[in-house]
């Protein structure tokens, strides 16, 4: 699934789905590359706020739709673990 369609929680980046070398380089500098954990803080129709490494970023819909993520990482944030911690 793309990052734009992912709900709040922690995911693993599966791949960056673009041939744009500049976008790949930009995302790599942020620490967003295959195998890296990424946390979605909030998601809206045209953007999402994510935490990559120790940085918090707002990504537009174009960037977020090109980041393909795997299912939520067990035991890391997410709606389920936040609810159980309350």
Task: Judge whether 2 and 68 are in contact, CB under 8 Å.
Answer: yes
Q: Which helix (H) or strand (E) holds 18?
A: none
pLDDT level of residue 42 (50, 70, 90 thresholds):
very high
pLDDT(71) > 90: no
Phi, psi angles (nearest 5°) of residue 18: -155, 155
The reported pLDDT for the residue numbered 56 is 96
pLDDT(39) > 70: yes
**pLDDT tens string 1-18:** 999 888 899 999 999 999
Task: Judge whether 51 and 58 are in contact, CB under 8 Å.
Answer: no
Distance CA 72, CA 10 (A): 5
- Has this prediction a pTM greater than 0.85? no
């Amino acid at each position: 699934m793309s990052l734009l369609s992912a709900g709040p929680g922690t995911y693993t980046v599966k791949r960056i789905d673009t041939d744009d070398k500049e976008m790949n380089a930009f995302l790599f500098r942020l620490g967003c590359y295959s195998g890296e954990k990424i946390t979605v803080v909030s998601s809206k129709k045209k953007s999402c706020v994510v935490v990559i490494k120790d940085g918090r970023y707002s990504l537009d819909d174009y960037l977020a739709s090109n980041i393909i993520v795997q299912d939520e990482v067990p035991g890391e944030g997410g709606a389920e673990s936040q609810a159980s911690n309350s």
